[in-house]
Chains A and B, each alone.
Chain A
Amino acid sequence: MTIPSGAAMQQLSAQSKFWWVMAGVLALLLLASAVGAWLHQRSLARSGKREVVDNLNARIRSWWVMAALLCTCFVLGRGATLIFFALASLFALREFVTLTPTRRGDHLPLCLCFYVAIPLQYWLIDIDWYGMFAICLPVYGFLVLPAVSALTGDVENFLERTTKIQWGLILTVYCISYAPAMLLLHIPGYEGQSLLLMLYLLLVVQISDVLQYVFGKLFGKRKLAPLVSPSKTVEGLVGGGLSATAIGACLWWITPFSFWGSAGMSALIVLSGFFGGLALSAVKRSLGAKDWGNMIEGHGGMLDRLDSVSFAAPIFFHVVHFAFM
């Protein structure tokens, strides 16, 4: 295996690496839009797959918007990135709580989740306090929320209610905050470039989602978990997962990893992202919904787009932390 001509690329500045990746993303989006337009023309001529094509084109349009937003974050820097993810957490938590039956006694704990926990968690990243970032919600949040809830005196289904709020908070705030928390990683020889690790994570997760969808639609036969997520197939997972891993490996020059290290990390991200999508589908179904919301055209809600990130981000973070710090 000859390593791609990237040894020089790895020496580039964070800025140039970022723009090279964005050029690649732009090319991918242009390609996707062209294919989408072609399929649209074809579906006009023949009836049948019309809905799938319309949904595909809606998804592609939303991808343009999401890529533009992410690009803007990078240009504006760490503050903007943290605010962007804080809002993503807010919208995701909002979708989660909307589908969860809560009672009068949950009002105060919920206000704390929305108005205190979210700003606090992202502020801890901003002031670079790793220790507190890692334990604040899982330890202090875990204890404070039921205490506050108990004060309101509403004991009906207390355990179920507390559990659900707890779970939603950890998933949508704590886990998602791990994506911009790459800022907390100060890897020797990779100083000032840690936002690129976040870009790497998001790219691999999302490309894996997209390719699993594409492979599933093209070759999918054997359903993986028909009751939980009818659109997931073995062919989709294997084809999409392997190609996403390959693409991730080829992005090694934006990371502190070697080519094969990057392949391993990408495989880890793909797998944990897959399980995130699966587990959250199960949660969604047990709450009786098909989509988390309708915020992102064609995709569903914010959580439909971030479900795999919420599982992949903490695992990726801690593996990198363990390997390099």
Chain B
Amino acid sequence: MITSRLLVGLVRALVGAHARWIGSLPSARQRIYFANHSSHLDALALWSALPPQLRDTTRPVAARDYWGQGGVRSFIADHGFRAVYIERDREHREGDPLQPLMDALDEGDSLILFPEGTRSQEALPLPFKSGLFHLARRYPEVELVAVYLDTLHRSMPKGSVLPVPLICTVRFGRGLHLQPGEGKESFLERARAAVVELA
């Protein structure tokens, strides 16, 4: 609790993380927030931008190879924002890599997901990986909300250690659902377009 408060305060002081609700409003209904991914601060910034009562039930999906290796990062991920770990390394995978995400959704939590799977250096996101599609198909009642993080690729680009304290605005776009009979490619392209239109 105190860790979370401190963490949010620090993130706010450093990168602002102001929320702008453009296409949707804050809501307690179960959601998957999906956003462009350009820095290690992304999950923290998006999570900090949520209203406090939503933060308690919203968990960022974090790469085990970065956040789950012990030390300060793991402490932040476990006690700060209650990360859901995903295994990116194929050799360490056992069973369905999406299983931890589905467990969290089954418990009623909302998720923060970066469907590019890796950080991009550009302002616009890379093509999305299929995880979002599988979750959308499996959980049709969960609302998918597009989010765009605007300056973090400049604050802390890939390969840098120190963040430049720029003001990041977190833009929340419209919610979407998988259409009946919609294929994987067209759904992922539509989801990516929803993020791009916020840029």
Contact = CB atoms under 8 A, between A and B. Distances in A.
Nearest to B150: A98
B167 A115 contact: no
27 contacts: A90-B165, A94-B165, A94-B166, A94-B167, A95-B167, A97-B164, A97-B166, A98-B151, A98-B166, A98-B167, A102-B154, A103-B154, A104-B121, A104-B157, A106-B154, A107-B154, A107-B157, A107-B160, A107-B164, A110-B164, A111-B162, A111-B164, A114-B164, A114-B165, A115-B162, A293-B167, A294-B18
Contacts of B166: 94, 97-98
Interface in A82-104: 90, 94-95, 97-98, 102-104
A178 B151 CA distance: 30
A151 B43 CA distance: 31
Could you say which of B121, B157, B162, B166 has the most chain A C-beta atoms within 10 Å of its C-beta?
B166
Interface of A: 90, 94-95, 97-98, 102-104, 106-107, 110-111, 114-115, 293-294
Interface range on chain B: under 10, 10 to 19, 20 to 34, or 35 or more? 10 to 19
A98 B160 CA distance: 18
Given A97-B164, A103-B154, A106-B154, 5 more contacts: A98-B166, A102-B154, A107-B154, A107-B160, A114-B165
Contacts of B162: 111, 115
Contacts of B160: 107
Contacts of B18: 294
Contacts of A103: 154
Contacts of B164: 97, 107, 110-111, 114
Contacts of A294: 18
Contacts of A111: 162, 164
Interface in B110-141: 121
B99 to A, nearest CB: 36
Contacts of B165: 90, 94, 114
Nearest to B18: A294
A111 B157 CA distance: 12
A102 B167 CA distance: 13
Nearest to A90: B165
B113 to A, nearest CB: 25
Contacts of B154: 102-103, 106-107
Contacts of A293: 167
Nearest to A292: B167
Nearest to A103: B154
A94 B165 CA distance: 6
A211 B44 CA distance: 43
Nearest to A95: B167
Contacts of A114: 164-165
A261 to B, nearest CB: 41
Interface string B12-23: 000000100000
Interface string B145-163: 0000001001001001010
Nearest to B163: A111
Nearest to A102: B154
Contacts of B167: 94-95, 98, 293
Q: Closest 6 A-B residue pairs measured CB to CB?
A: A98-B167, A110-B164, A98-B166, A104-B157, A111-B162, A107-B160
A34 B154 CA distance: 45
Contacts of B121: 104
A107 B160 CA distance: 8
A44 to B, nearest CB: 28
A117 to B, nearest CB: 13
Contacts of A110: 164
A98 B18 CA distance: 13
A87 to B, nearest CB: 10
A294 B165 CA distance: 16
A94 B160 CA distance: 18
Nearest to A109: B164
A103 B38 CA distance: 13
Nearest to B160: A107
Nearest to A113: B164
Contacts of B157: 104, 107
Nearest to B162: A111
Contacts of A107: 154, 157, 160, 164
Nearest to B123: A101
A165 B164 CA distance: 13
A97 B163 CA distance: 13
